């Protein structure tokens, strides 16, 4: 019984302590609820914040759009300048092309004229050479006709003496014929041997002749200007 009383007292004390603890807690809670809140601690309206964020985003987008528009305008101006330069260069190239085509056409016409003139000149030159050859050949034959006449007259003689006289007469007229034709006769006994115009066919052992001189002539040589028509065939004295 005594024990029950003690437990009862202890139970009452615990109950009082619990009640006091609840009062203290409620007092503190009330104090907190009645304490004024700072602005930072005030609840924020989420819709207002969203509107402000939207405005900020719109301002950023507007700035970006303005920057993009300026860049686009700048690029457009740059492209316009470049396009103008390309058009000017293209026009210049077209003009140069036309001028080149005109010059080429003129050169083509000039080339055709020169080709025609050269062909005419070539034909004239060929004809002039042929005419000159015919004239020279005709002149040579004309100058030889008197000699042919003399041969025909000499052939009429049957007597040996008269025939020989006719041949001698013809031979006396040969130098004049050579001179009229521009022909030079060379190759005489006693001349110094010249390998450019003489052909040594034999070597002489004649001790009385000057070494290197011609001692006999088999065939006379003939020149027309600087051209050797025939080399003189001669015998040359040895040393």
CA separation for the pair 167, 145 (Å, rounded): 15
Query: What pLDDT, on a 0 to 100 scale, did the predictor assign at position 127?
Result: 92
pLDDT tens string 79-127 = 888 888 898 889 989 999 898 888 888 888 888 899 999 999 999 999 9
118 shares its domain with 176: yes
Cα 174 to Cα 108, 171, 194: the distances in Å are 59, 5, 25
pLDDT tens string 23-32 = 555 444 444 4
160 shares its domain with 205: no
Q: What is the mean pLDDT of residues 193-209?
A: 91
- CA-nearest of 73, 52, 54 to 62 is 54
What Rg, from alpha-carbon coordinates, does the chain have?
70
- The torsion defined by the Cα of 38, 41, 43 and 45, in degrees rounded to 10, comes to 90
Residue 134 lies in domain: 113-181
Q: How are beta strands 221-224 and 227-230 bridged, if at all? A: antiparallel
Say if CB 221 and CB 197 are below 8 A apart: yes
pLDDT tens string 18-65 = 555 555 554 444 444 444 444 444 554 567 777 777 777 777 777 777
234 shares its domain with 195: yes
Domain count, the chain: 2
Cα 235 to Cα 49, 184, 217: the distances in Å are 140, 20, 6
User: The domain spanning residue 213 has which CATH number?
Assistant: 2.30.22.10
**Reduced to 3 states, what is the DSSP secondary structure of residue 216?**
strand
pLDDT reading at 221 higher than 70: yes
216: in domain: yes
DSSP structural state of residue 212: T
118 shares its domain with 162: yes
When mean pLDDT is compared across 7-16, 106-115, 167-176, the lowest value belongs to 7-16
104: in domain: no
The mean of the pLDDT values for the chain is 80
Whether pTM exceeds 0.75: no
Query: In terms of DSSP H, where are the helices of the chain?
Result: 2-34, 46-155, 160-181
Query: What pLDDT, on a 0 to 100 scale, did the predictor assign at position 180?
Result: 87
CA separation for the pair 46, 179 (Å, rounded): 139
Q: Which of 135, 152, 181 is the last residue of a domain?
A: 181
Residue with tokens 């052939």: 155
64: in domain: no
Q: How are beta strands 198-204 and 232-237 bridged, if at all? A: parallel
Q: Which two tokens stand for residue 109?
A: 């016409």
pLDDT reading at 6 higher than 50: no
177 shares its domain with 188: no
118 shares its domain with 177: yes
Q: Which residue has the higher pLDDT, 16 or 167?
A: 167
Under the banding of pLDDT at 50, 70 and 90, the label for residue 2 is very low
């Amino acid at each position: 019984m005594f024990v029950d009383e003690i437990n009862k007292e202890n139970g009452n004390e615990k109950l009082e302590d619990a009640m006091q603890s609840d009062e203290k807690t409620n007092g503190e809670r009330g104090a907190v609820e009645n304490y004024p809140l700072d602005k930072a601690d005030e609840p924020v309206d989420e819709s207002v914040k969203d509107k402000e964020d939207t405005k900020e985003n719109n301002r950023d987008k507007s700035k970006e759009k303005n920057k993009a528009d300026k860049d686009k305008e700048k690029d457009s101006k740059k492209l316009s300048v470049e396009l103008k330069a390309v058009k000017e260069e293209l026009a210049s190239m077209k003009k140069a092309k036309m001028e080149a085509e005109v010059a080429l056409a003129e050169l083509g016409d000039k080339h055709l004229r020169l080709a025609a003139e050269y062909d005419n000149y070539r034909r004239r030159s060929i004809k002039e050479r042929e005419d000159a050859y015919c004239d020279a050949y005709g002149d040579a034959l004309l100058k030889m006709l008197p000699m042919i006449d003399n041969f025909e007259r000499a052939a009429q003689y049957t007597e040996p003496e008269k025939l020989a006289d006719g041949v001698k007469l013809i031979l006396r007229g040969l130098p004049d014929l050579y001179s009229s034709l521009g022909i030079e006769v060379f190759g005489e006994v006693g001349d110094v041997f010249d390998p450019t115009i003489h052909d040594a066919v034999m070597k002489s052992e004649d001790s009385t002749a000057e070494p290197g001189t011609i001692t006999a002539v088999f065939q006379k040589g003939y020149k027309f200007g600087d051209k050797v028509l025939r080399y003189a065939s001669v015998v040359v004295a040895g040393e």
